[in-house]
Structure 1
Amino acid sequence: MRWKLQPETDSEITKNLAKELGVEYTLAKLLVQRGIDSFDAAKAFFRPNLSDLHNPYLMKDMDKAVARIELAIANNENILVYGDYDVDGTTSVSLMSSYLKTIHPNIATYIPDRYAEGYGVSFKGVDFAEDNEMSLIIALDCGIKAIDKVNYAKEKGIDFIICDHHRPGSEIPKAVAVLDPKREDCAYPYKELCGCGVGFKLIQALASERGETITDLLPYLDLVATAVAADIVPITGENRVLAYYGLQVINSNPRNGIKAMIHQLEKKELTITDVVFVIAPRINAAGRIKHGNYAVELLTELDFDAAVKFASEIEKNNNDRKELDKTITVEALQQIEANNEQQNYTSVVYAENWHKGVIGIVASRLIETYYRPTLVFTKSGDKLAASARSVKGFDVYNALEECSEFIEQFGGHKYAAGLTLTVENYPKFKAKFEEVVKATIAEELRTPEITIDAEISLSEITPKFFRILKQLAPFGPQNMRPTFSASGLRDNGFGKKVGADQTHLKLNVIEGANQKTYNAIGFSMGDKFNLVQKEQGFNAAFNIDENHWNGNTSLQLLLKDIKAT
């Protein structure tokens, strides 16, 4: 791995902040790296407040959206809440429908089928609204490019309100209201809300018309925090406030569906990382294996026993998903080896029976073995469909554009995309994609990178240091868990490989002449054991974490990488 040290911060600003806050220089440095360079900024960061949330009416079209919903309620209209099948979409639909049901009885929900309808607003969804006499559709986490679907609905006398967070195209749909902070003509102060966040701003506006305060909406923040975590949006500004309070709801009094999922786990307190890797995959599994409706039913269920049954079904879906992606990953790796493509610049694999719902996960898994832009194809009708994943710093979307002569359609962004092509174009596309990546990828991008926030001495790691470090959470994009490096380390001779298959590394680390030992664990780092034997010196990159064992809690280094000194 390449170790990249963050640029040095201004030493005077950092020293002054450390003095003002009464913290160590390293902790002040972490704050300055995050753009926090004053006492007031630090106070706002460490103590997020619901009063920091912006007025929802600052978002363009919010007044129109509220007016149309109020009209629908006054006229006793049927309202359809429509959202995508991923975590952001299903939490958005659960949020909006559960709030609207407290003020209006005629609310239905709709999640498109991943395979039959695909992403976003569909003609089938509009037909469903017409068949069920729905005169208003509220689309969440999708719709910003649904020009033709909105026009189709208008012809049928159905209005649209769009709550999206994706970048608009050159034309905005002709909906009654289009709420999207990324609209160029929207002056909303915070641009990085997820779809569920935009939906929350709408219910915040609706609530204000009823004399309700932000405190009354706290019970909905477990859904918003789940979406913020799962959609990998920056944990800054409003997202930090929403995630901070949403995590408190998740850990104290979550809705029955989330409580039922937590009920199946051994963890007592969930972090944002747990939400990403434990809660989100289970919600996603419903849309991947069966249907996103299952997730909405779970997240809106008012009876706990019924929620437990839904959660058990989704747990089974998640286990099926795990088995599928494990099996397909093994088959894909075998295919790369059989074709002698280990030294390629890309991984492009295909089998017609691979499950479309997990090929994106498999692409990410393959990058763990072969660190390079990756596409996993499967059969979809009479075409081939693929999920693309990239490595840090390489724009896979641009690379796909270079291969567009062989592609039917594609969409996505820098690090992830989806595409379809004809069966006969697969070999031509595969050759062209390899050629394009080989010609354009910088050599250094072919090696994984670790960003080091600060070089420290292990003696700096004290209970107080860690206590303050924990308050930087919730972690996520633009506020990642700090990674440190330390040099001149040795193992005290008791280091060993652990785990059923000896793949993990457990060390007792000593620094310099200081004989104090620090526990360290490196998951999937057993193959680096030779670097620490016989008191060889090494450097380590690591996070700092707590280890809970036999009722005792101690600090430990969570190793990311080690190198010989």
Structure 2
Amino acid sequence: MGDLQWILQMKDTARAAQLARALGISPLLAQLMINRGIAHLDDARRFLACDLSSLADPFAMLDMDKAVDRIEKALHHGEPMVVYGDYDVDGQTAAAVLVSVLRELSADPSAVSFYIPNRMDEGYGLHREALQSLVGQAKLVITVDCGITSVEEARLARRWGLDLIITDHHQPGPEIPDAVAVLNPKRPGCPYPEKQLAGVGIAFRLAQALGQSRGRDFHEYLDLVALGTVADLVPLQGENRILAKRGLERMARTSRIGLQALMEVAGVGQELKASHLGFRLGPRLNAAGRLSDASLGVQLLLTDDPRVAQELAAQLDAENTTRQEIERRITVEACEAIVKHELHKESGIVIAGEGWHPGVIGIVASRLVEEFYRPTVVVSLAEGIGTGSARSIAGFDLHGGLVQCSHLLERFGGHTMAAGLTVREDMLPAFTEKFIGVCAASLSEDQLRPRLLVDAEVQLRDVTESLVADLALLEPTGFGNPPPLLQVEGSVVDMRCVGKQGTHLKFTLRGADDCERDAIAFGFAEQAGALQGYQESAMVAFVPTINDWRDQRSVQLQVKAVTAGPQGQDFVSRALASYPWQLGSEYHMSPFVKQALAADGPESTGLEANPPHTLDLRGTWNKVRAVEEHAGAQGSVLILVNTPAEAMEVCRQLRIEFPGRREKIGFVHELLAGESIAEIQDMPVEWLVSTGLGVPKGRSWESVWLWHPPLTEANWEAWREQAGRGGLVVLAFGSKDVRDVQLSLCKSLPDRRGLARIYAVLRDRSANGSLEERTALEYLGELGLERGLWFAAKVFAELGLWSVEQGRIAFLPAPAKKLDLYDAVLYNRGMNIRRQTSLYLRECLKRGFTDHGFTAEN
């Protein structure tokens, strides 16, 4: 997704306090309700109560009396009735509710049947062929979740002697179909107060209207109503919120055999949330409508046979797995085409593919909106006809946009955020141009940037089980009533990839008072490098949850976004946050190894007259805490490491461990620009991490810590001189450090085999014989070879195989005779350094190592 607009919503402290006092809730919950437009006391009470008695009288809906009268007539005379539904979850649940109620009220339940059109063969809505097939079988056809734009089909139904009742929640067209009754709160002149009901919500209100004279409220069907309402992404506000909340309660104890079987295959227990309906149950019902026969879903919801229910649920579960595979493949194809043709640079996207399965293109459109944040139309082409599904973004009325393109379409329907359409293939270019133009005229640049609306900022110590319980009063959450999104500042520690495919990140967030909370970031594995840059200070947007795992219950932050925190604006903070985690290979090279490669070592100034004292802490298990213990609160400390990358990483580690003195911990190394080194010199740094080069001149240190073992005698001499005459040198490295340094050196100075792999990989990946160094690092990073690029570039340049200019590697024509690596002076020096350093590192761990001109201390 594009550049994220991170927006912290304004606080209304006074009004939140007033609501909190009146309702006996926390000020935070009150503020979150205000953020959702619930600012008045009566509205807030209704929001929290979710009382079914607050539903409007169903007869307030235009034509409800006509619909009830006609159905009562059919029931009285035993007329055959057909419920004609849509193939999505909303249509299936609406059909199941109305069929069940009509069968219950009918003297002859067999007189009530249902018809669900096939997505592939018939498509969305009422169809003349389907209506014609019902002539002679039914006297009354009742649509659910479709029909509001079927003007011609309604005329045909009347001509063929079919009475038609339309119940639909989609946007009406300019002409209302001529039917016995048309139930749609969005109709002009309809006084029903709730305009955003789902199709199943309207079907349920029709059922309740039928039940009024019988003393029946039909609340036992609220489980189906909740499922269709949540799955159809209508706003969970007003009456939808009431229906969803009370329906979820019903579903947790449902006796409906089909729902029980569906919940079992979906792995859903009795602690239900709206997300379970939208992401577990809904997709399995939708899978039938997308790939095969949506009537299977209705059969499942109607059956009272456990064996049939189990078989149908298993079939839907298998089809959902197939749907996921097809969806994934088409999404990859669409993304590649969009990027290749730069379609994402327009204000809207229209992408078409021959043979794309029309049953999954709606989900693919949603995925593309998530990725590119543009109103998106995905079209499946077959035999000159395109079946399209569209999804929108905030601020763009999709249905209104398609109205402006209607002269180029065969048919279309939908609402503000989602729509379906049919377009001839020869009209597709004109439609694409028109649709993109409509999007461009309607959307500003800011509207094309995704927004992250954060409800409130909290302290990490306040994220508790009590807070989670408090915010649960906002449930059910979803579209129109989003889960509470909070933000908190802290340090990212103990980060690791988790999940079957390693696609998720799990880490600990540590606050300034050392308070810690677990965090999980689903799908964030590719952002692990960026999060490393935020380790010192991260701002995390999250939803607070409870994690129950192996009988352990704890608060967990479900991470939605992470960015650099505001803590610290000095050079070190900026550098640690902005440096790419994938540093250049030179950052992993010791300056003393580079000097040895150049045969140009530093001269010793000699300290034999008054040598430094040493404190031998080799092998200490916690160097970080040892610094705090021995240096004290005010001591000035120089910490020496082998490479620039390690200087940055150790600095980051110390700043995370000691947030209270964060601004007094810095780093410096030889690859920094001069102005950066100057800025370090002006900072009040007490603990400085360095390779030994770039250290401010004239600065004295109470102790110099050898975090890593020196690599060469010259390295040793230079580091001990940093202690000055009579200073203190602390040996803090151990056997693990020695092993890590040896491994790092082998990666930085690759041998013949390593150099051959680097050459082959980059040659195969280069375009026209060249590539950017940054790109080369990414390719080599996939194989763990990136640290060797600096050395490889020097060796291959000496042999005339490469040239490196302005950050670009160019492959030179191969020489006539075969080259030998041993002809390269630099390669021979590198291999010699590896051997000598390996021997020297062994000495670093021996007891007598401190006798080289030092005064040892126990």
| TM-score, structure 1 as length reference | 0.92
Map Cα deviations across residues 51-84 of structure 1 (whole Å, 9 max, x no partner). 2222222222222222211111121211111111
Range that drifts further, 93-102 or 398-407: 398-407
Range that drifts further, 522-531 or 118-127: 522-531
Q: Hey, what does 2:554 align to over in structure 1? A: 554
Range that drifts further, 135-144 or 29-38: 29-38
Q: Which amino acid aligns with 2:55?
A: L
State the distance in 2 between where 1:340 and 1:29 align.
42
Q: Which amino acid aligns with 1:310?
A: L
Q: Hey, what does 1:303 align to over in structure 2? A: 305
Map Cα deviations across residues 341-380 of structure 1 (whole Å, 9 max, x no partner). 5655554433212111111211222233333333322223
2:158 equivalent to 1:173 = no
How far off its partner does 1:118 sit? 2.1
Range that drifts further, 29-38 or 310-319: 29-38
How far off its partner does 1:182 sit? 1.7
Residues 178 and 390 of structure 1, relative CA distance in 2, 3 Å threshold = closer
Q: Hey, what does 2:117 align to over in structure 1? A: 112
1:492-511 paired onto structure 2 within 5 Å: 493-511=493-511
How far off its partner does 1:409 sit? 4.2
State the distance in 2 between where 1:342 and 1:437 align.
12
2:223 equivalent to 1:222 = yes
State the distance in 2 between where 1:77 and 1:426 align.
45
Aligned partner of residue 84 in structure 2, secondary structure:
strand
State the distance in 1 between where 2:84 and 2:405 align.
34
2:376 equivalent to 1:374 = yes
| Structure 2 residues not aligned, in runs of 5+ | 566-858
Structure 2 counterpart of 1:137, from 135, 138, 141: 141
Structure 1 counterpart of 2:82, from 80, 83, 90: 80
State the distance in 2 between where 1:57 and 1:402 align.
35
Q: Hey, what does 2:470 align to over in structure 1? A: 468
Aligned partner of residue 60 in structure 1, secondary structure:
coil
Q: CA RMSD in A?
A: 2.4
Structure 2 counterpart of 1:153, from 157, 160, 176: 157
State the distance in 2 between where 1:406 and 1:145 align.
17
How far off its partner does 1:41 sit? 4.1
Range that drifts further, 166-175 or 178-187: 166-175
Range that drifts further, 167-176 or 104-113: 167-176
Aligned partner of residue 131 in structure 1, secondary structure:
coil
State the distance in 1 between where 2:59 and 2:434 align.
49
Residues 37 and 562 of structure 1, relative CA distance in 2, 3 Å threshold = same
Q: Is the 8 A contact 2:87 2:119 kept in 1?
A: yes
Range that drifts further, 321-330 or 22-31: 22-31
State the distance in 1 between where 2:417 and 2:500 align.
34
State the distance in 1 between where 2:503 and 2:460 align.
25
State the distance in 2 between where 1:81 and 1:63 align.
18
Q: Which amino acid aligns with 1:260?
A: A
2:7 equivalent to 1:8 = no
Q: Is the 8 A contact 1:377 1:387 kept in 2?
A: yes
Residues 377 and 189 of structure 1, relative CA distance in 2, 3 Å threshold = closer
Q: Hey, what does 2:516 align to over in structure 1? A: 517
Aligned partner of residue 351 in structure 1, secondary structure:
strand
Aligned partner of residue 293 in structure 2, secondary structure:
coil
State the distance in 1 between where 2:360 and 2:130 align.
24
State the distance in 2 between where 1:338 and 1:34 align.
40
How far off its partner does 1:477 sit? 2.9
Q: Is the 8 A contact 1:324 1:358 kept in 2?
A: yes
2:292 equivalent to 1:290 = yes
Residues 53 and 348 of structure 1, relative CA distance in 2, 3 Å threshold = closer
State the distance in 2 between where 1:391 and 1:54 align.
31
Q: Is the 8 A contact 1:219 1:254 kept in 2?
A: no
1:390-405 paired onto structure 2 within 5 Å: 390-397=392-399
2:97 equivalent to 1:121 = no
Q: Hey, what does 1:526 align to over in structure 2? A: 525
How far off its partner does 1:544 sit? 0.8
Structure 1 counterpart of 2:195, from 191, 196, 208: 191
State the distance in 2 between where 1:526 and 1:34 align.
32
State the distance in 1 between where 2:171 and 2:343 align.
36
Aligned partner of residue 65 in structure 2, secondary structure:
helix
Q: Is the 8 A contact 1:490 1:532 kept in 2?
A: no
State the distance in 2 between where 1:280 and 1:59 align.
28
State the distance in 2 between where 1:340 and 1:34 align.
37
Q: Which amino acid aligns with 2:545?
A: D
State the distance in 1 between where 2:81 and 2:517 align.
59
Residues 506 and 292 of structure 1, relative CA distance in 2, 3 Å threshold = same
Q: Hey, what does 1:265 align to over in structure 2? A: 266
State the distance in 2 between where 1:232 and 1:266 align.
22
State the distance in 1 between where 2:348 and 2:181 align.
43
Count of residues paired in the alignment: 557
How far off its partner does 1:179 sit? 1.7
Residues 25 and 232 of structure 1, relative CA distance in 2, 3 Å threshold = same
Aligned partner of residue 85 in structure 1, secondary structure:
coil
Q: Which is greater in Rg?
A: 2
Range that drifts further, 183-192 or 240-249: 183-192
Q: Which amino acid aligns with 2:144?
A: L
Map Cα deviations across residues 74-105 of structure 1 (whole Å, 9 max, x no partner). 21211111111111111111110111111212
Q: Is the 8 A contact 1:531 1:538 kept in 2?
A: no
State the distance in 2 between where 1:543 and 1:226 align.
23
Range that drifts further, 228-237 or 433-442: 433-442
| Structure 1 residues not aligned, in runs of 5+ | none
State the distance in 1 between where 2:377 and 2:391 align.
7
Residues 339 and 40 of structure 1, relative CA distance in 2, 3 Å threshold = closer
State the distance in 2 between where 1:527 and 1:290 align.
35
Aligned partner of residue 558 in structure 2, secondary structure:
strand
State the distance in 2 between where 1:355 and 1:429 align.
21
Q: Is the 8 A contact 1:222 1:254 kept in 2?
A: no
Q: Hey, what does 1:536 align to over in structure 2? A: 536
Aligned partner of residue 266 in structure 1, secondary structure:
coil
Q: Is the 8 A contact 1:91 1:223 kept in 2?
A: yes
Q: Hey, what does 2:213 align to over in structure 1? A: 209
Q: Is the 8 A contact 2:497 2:505 kept in 1?
A: yes
Q: Is the 8 A contact 2:170 2:414 kept in 1?
A: no
State the distance in 1 between where 2:320 and 2:500 align.
23
Q: Which amino acid aligns with 1:561?
A: A
State the distance in 1 between where 2:79 and 2:500 align.
60
Structure 1 counterpart of 2:448, from 446, 450, 458: 446
Q: Which amino acid aligns with 2:524?
A: M
State the distance in 1 between where 2:263 and 2:80 align.
34
| TM-score, structure 2 as length reference | 0.62
How far off its partner does 1:274 sit? 0.8
State the distance in 2 between where 1:240 and 1:393 align.
23
Which structure carries more relative contact order (alpha carbon 8 Å, separation 6+)?
A: 1
Structure 1 counterpart of 2:280, from 275, 278, 281: 278
How far off its partner does 1:400 sit? 5.0
Q: Is the 8 A contact 1:219 1:255 kept in 2?
A: no
Range that drifts further, 80-89 or 157-166: 157-166
Residues 232 and 495 of structure 1, relative CA distance in 2, 3 Å threshold = same
Q: Is the 8 A contact 1:363 1:387 kept in 2?
A: yes
Map Cα deviations across residues 220-272 of structure 1 (whole Å, 9 max, x no partner). 11110011101111212221221111111211114111111111133322211
Q: Is the 8 A contact 1:531 1:564 kept in 2?
A: no
State the distance in 1 between where 2:286 and 2:506 align.
33
State the distance in 2 between where 1:170 and 1:394 align.
20
Structure 1 counterpart of 2:419, from 404, 417, 420: 417
Q: Which amino acid aligns with 2:295?
A: N
Range that drifts further, 472-481 or 419-428: 419-428
Aligned partner of residue 173 in structure 1, secondary structure:
coil
Q: Which amino acid aligns with 1:547?
A: N
Q: Which amino acid aligns with 1:100?
A: L
